[in-house]
Amino acid sequence: MSQNLVSFESSQLHEEEDGHFRNAWIRAVPRENLTVTENSRDIIRVVTHTDQATGRVMTVPLAHVRLRPDAVPSKFPNCPSYMSRKTTRREDPDSKRARIENAALQKAIAETNEAVIRAREEDKVSSLCELANHLRSQGMKFWDVIERNERLLLIHIVDDEAPWLKYSICVKGDLSVTLHVMKTAVKKLGANLCVPEISNSKRGMVELLEGIEKWDGDLMCNSVAEICEAVCLLLDQL
């Protein structure tokens, strides 16, 4: 028997829809005057599912739609939407706690950044009038605030029998800053107190005024040697 023939129990022949294939199958049976019935049993030539000329797989559509073995229906037309909606997996406690903590952390960071930006905007100096009003609101008794000739003057007058000007700070229209001790222009007092070139921060100006007031108070309490050192510092800047 030829190698391309195999023995098997034939399916009922009346289920074959292709007449050409049916006739070819009957002709291939090596019997004369074959009468085919629904109980016929014989040998059928093996049919391959590929085209020997091209090597392509030949496919035909199914007569009826069939689900795959692992298919799970998920869409139901004309039914409530919850039947087709993807079911949300329940979040475990650890993941939920981590998500809540991360959300709280991100919120705190965002609020902090907003507060920093807002404080920076509020601290910015936009005009001499704004700076003068801010310094007056601090209630500093050591300094007198004077606006004159498009300049802001911050002065300290020693109230002696003959009052005299000890410290003066001048802020010009371009917000440049100069400090004079009596009539000597200085850029630094002591080891740590430096005069900024530009008055672009309200807080920075308040810290400068408070630093000069503290330096003056410390100078009054210092020894003669420390006073001489301060005088030499002023002389070096002449």
pLDDT value at position 1?
A: 36
Q: What is the DSSP string of 132-187?
A: HHHHHHTT-SS-EEEEETTEEEEEEEE-SSS-EEEEEEEE-TT-BEEEEETTEEES
Token couple for 153: 């003057």
pLDDT value at position 56?
A: 82
Contact assessment for residue 169 and residue 178, using Cβ atoms and an 8 Å cutoff: yes
- Report whether pLDDT(194) > 90: no
Segment 186-204 shows an average pLDDT of 85
Helix (H) or strand (E) holding 5, with range, is: strand 5-7
pLDDT bucket at 60, cuts 50 / 70 / 90: confident
pLDDT digits (tens, 9 = 90+) for 18-30: 566 667 766 766 6
- Report whether pLDDT(180) > 60: yes
Q: Average pLDDT, whole number, for the chain? A: 76
First to last CA, the chain: 125
pLDDT digits (tens, 9 = 90+) for 124-148: 988 888 999 999 998 888 999 999 8
- Report whether pLDDT(10) > 70: no
CB contact burial 195-228 (16+ within 10 A = b; e otherwise): bbeebebbeebeebbebbbebbeeeeeeeeeeee
| pTM for the whole structure | 0.51
